[in-house]
Structure 1
Amino acid sequence: MASFKSVEDDQLKEIPIEEDNKPVETPLLAATRTGVIELVKEILKEHPQAVEHVSHKKQNILHVAASYRRRDIFDHVKKMEMPTSRLILGIDEDGYTVLHHVADNKNYTGGTSPGPAYQLQEELEWFESVEEIMPSYFTQHHDKNNKTAKELFREKHETQLKAAQQWIKETSQSCSGVAVLVSTVVFAAAFTVPGGNDEKEGFPLLLHSPFFMSFTLTDVVSLSCSLTALVMFVSIVTSPFELHNFRFTLPRRLTLGFALLFMSVLTTMLTFTSTIILIIRSEQRQKWTLTLICCAAFVPVSVLDLTTHFPLLVSFIKAWKYPYSSLLRNLKFLGKLARILTFLGKLVFQRGLQSFSHHHPRSENERNV
């Protein structure tokens, strides 16, 4: 029993110094610094007491994991509740707590998200997640320079904040121009009915074609999405761009604007495809013609998806980080609302068709379309 206690006491001591005054780094702290989580798990599995090791700067494993942004290791140690409650109160020789190491970006090598705005959001989320597990009184601890963790975070991330402000503003201005262009095109297309209108009644001549309904729906959806995306981008440009706005508000607006812009471009090309198919008569339609039209229609969508939307998909999910239960409830509600609107739309459309058929019978050429 005495021998075990002496071994444990030796492990709680600081890391020894070699003869040439170079500090010795334990395998656990070295694996934490380099991010080798498999080695960290194996060491803690065989020797759980090694979690109490501190470096020559009085930094424990949580200090090192927070400084080098090793979230997987930090979360693994956090599951060990009893050691974590002690380690989280550790203070190194610079007066840094674990939260101070999160605020200091001297070992920051760049985030996993694309774009300065999303990287800043990632840093804010990392700071907030560590702050939640610390005692409230301990978050006000001052380091040797008499700064709290929040004050240190704002000072160290000032350059990153300026880069994020410039990037999100320029991106929003560029995307708003595209949204205006798309909305202008689809708005003009709504008043240019394929095939023309009847001179007496004013109804479209190709109203009974299934592709006419496709043209109408995609045109309306494209106009709605492009205008909504424009509102999102304008709201970003007029925002104050404060540091706390990059935690939720600005990234969510930007990702929502990207999604709506992508949807508007997609539905615009579907509108174009439906219009071309309506113009080409059935006897003139060839398989290669339809294939060429579909390929040409979806090339812009594919380019937009690969260059902008797909790389931001992970950031989109992180920016809209809701509980799964709430998300499922919202999806169910939207599904019910969509079914109700579809049912009402069918009733209105069927009555319109009956009224049109009663006053304007179709010709033989129109039935063949």
Structure 2
Amino acid sequence: MESNKRKHKLETPILLAAKNGIAEIVERIIEVCPIAINDVNSDNKNIVLLAVENRQPKVYELLKRRNILKESMFRQLDKEENSALHLAAKLGDKQPWRIPGAALQMQWENKWYEYVRDSMPHTFFPRYNKEGKTPSDLFTETHRNLVEDGSKWLTNTSQSCSVVAALIATVAFTTATTVPGGFESNGTPALENKPGFDLFAVSSLVALCFSITALVMFLAILTSRYQERDFGRNLPRKLLLGLTSLFVSIAAMLISFCGGHFFVLKEELKLAAVPVYAVTCLPVTFFAMAQLPLYIDLLRATVSKVPQRSHKVDP
């Protein structure tokens, strides 16, 4: 009886390596013993199903590169009659992706599902498992809580950033329509030939344009339907564009302020004002540095075609 239980729990080395994402061992075993690709565990899962279920991109890419992902491998079903696409759509108890935040987790879940789906043979079509569910049904059902958490995070972030963008747009509009020094009798600006005038004019216009762009992007996120597929490309791109525009508008507004204020000072005070301008920029610099990790994660998740498995998460 004990030997039967022990046998039931045993998994071959290639199955364990595929489950834990050790691509080097999987590749070596395939070279030494090619027939090992047909091994299955007690749940009737082969290396393809285990790599997909445990979100192991390195193993999956290895199998694709060596042309092991043949149609017969994809048609393997586990005890619950789940295909590889079912397992790619099903969210487990753990979140293996190396990225923080429910919204970005959801983005990489979308990328993983689409990556597995696009790598399948053209003759493969979604089928029902034992519970009568398609991969699309499983994706919607198992990601419901993650979608809800991601929606809340996006809503809070967009609301906070839209307030800042609206404030900058208001200030930028005022400065863009105000000419320092007034006009001459012939209608030309009095400070037209001054070195800082062009800097003031251009930076105020840039601040206005980018702040309005950021405001539109954040409002587009707030009015989104927050469907599962929206987290794949639509919402992250809007958030990335909104944050980029917000950072540019803040920097342009500060440059516009420094350029306009430069004309107010007397000649002997202009050099003394430079450190004051630098101190004025410090809060914005701290804000940008605080948001930089989020921005980098968002940029990486948007640009990457295949999500990366985190080694910090236990398999």
TM range (shorter): 0.7 to 0.9
Q: Determine the structure 2 residue equivalent to 1:90.
A: 76
Among residues 117, 121, 131, which one is paired with 2:117 in the alignment? Answer: 131
Contact kept in structure 2, 1:273 and 1:294, CA below 8 Å: yes
1:263 is aligned to 248
**2:21 — aligned with what?**
35
Is the CA contact 1:259–1:309 (under 8 Å) kept in the aligned structure 2?
Answer: no
| Structure 1 gap segments, 5+ residues each | 1-16, 323-369
Corresponding residue of 2:192: 207
1:247-262 to structure 2, matched below 5 A, reads: 247-262=232-247
Matched, 1:222 2:189: no
Unpaired runs of 5+ residues, structure 2, are 306-315
**2:67 is equivalent to residue 81 of structure 1:** yes
Q: In 1, Cα distance between the equivalents of 2:277 and 2:29?
A: 57
Q: TM-score, normalised by structure 2?
A: 0.87
Q: Is the 8 A contact 2:258 2:277 kept in 1?
A: yes
Shift of residue 110 of structure 1? 4.4
Query: Mean alpha-carbon deviation: is it higher for 245-254 or for 82-91?
Result: 82-91
What does residue 276 of structure 2 align with? 293
Question: 2:105 maps to which residue?
Answer: 119
Shift in CA distance, 245/302, structure 1 to aligned 2, threshold 3 Å: same
User: Kindly tell me: are residues 52 and 226 of structure 1, through their superposed partners in 2, closer, same or farther at Cα, counting changes over 3 Å?
Assistant: same
Alignment-derived partner of residue 179 in structure 1: 165
> Greater relative contact order: 1 or 2 (C-alpha under 8 angstroms, separation 6 or more)?
2
1:18 and 1:274, CA in 2 relative to 1: closer, same or farther beyond 3 A? farther
CA deviation vs aligned residue, 1:114-172 (integer Å, no higher than 9, x gap): 33222212111211111122245643211111111111111111111111222212211
User: Please, which moves more after superposition, 132-141 or 119-128?
Assistant: 132-141
Query: Alpha-carbon deviations, 1:217-273, whole Å to 9, x = none?
Result: 010000000011111111121222222222222221111111111111111111122
Q: Which residue of 1 aligns with 2:310?
A: none
In the alignment, residue 115 of structure 2 is paired with which amino acid?
Answer: S
Match of 2:298 among 311, 315, 324: 315
Partner of 2:39: 53
Q: Aligned pair count?
A: 303
**Match for residue 354 of structure 1?**
none
Greater displacement, 299-308 / 309-318: 309-318
Contact 1:131 1:139 in 2 (8 A): no
**In structure 2, do the counterparts of structure 1 residues 320 and 221 end up closer, same or farther at CA, with 3 Å as the change threshold?**
farther
2 CA distance for matches of 1:114 and 1:230? 25
More deviation, 218-227/274-283: 274-283
1:58 CA drift (Å): 1.1
Of stretches 202-211 and 178-187 in structure 1, the one that deviates more from structure 2 is: 202-211
Cα distance in 1, alignment partners of residues 58 and 203 from structure 2 = 44
Between structure 1 and structure 2, the one with the greater Rg is 1
2:104/2:301 contact within 8 Å kept:
no
Cross-structure match for 1:278: 263
Indicate how the Cα distance of structure 1 residues 302 and 29 shifts in structure 2: closer, same or farther if over 3 A, else same.
Answer: farther
Q: Structure 1 residue 162 and structure 2 residue 148: aligned?
A: yes
Instruction: Tell me if structure 1 keeps the 8 A contact 2:89–2:136.
Output: yes
- Structural mapping, 1:55-74, within 5 Å: 55-74=41-60
Structure 1's 273 and 158: CA in aligned 2 closer, same or farther, altered over 3 A?
A: same
Counterpart AA for 2:298: S
- Between stretches 307-316 and 227-236, larger displacement belongs to 307-316
SS at match of 2:81: coil
Letter in 1 for 2:236: P
Residue 188 of structure 1: how far off its partner (Å): 1.8
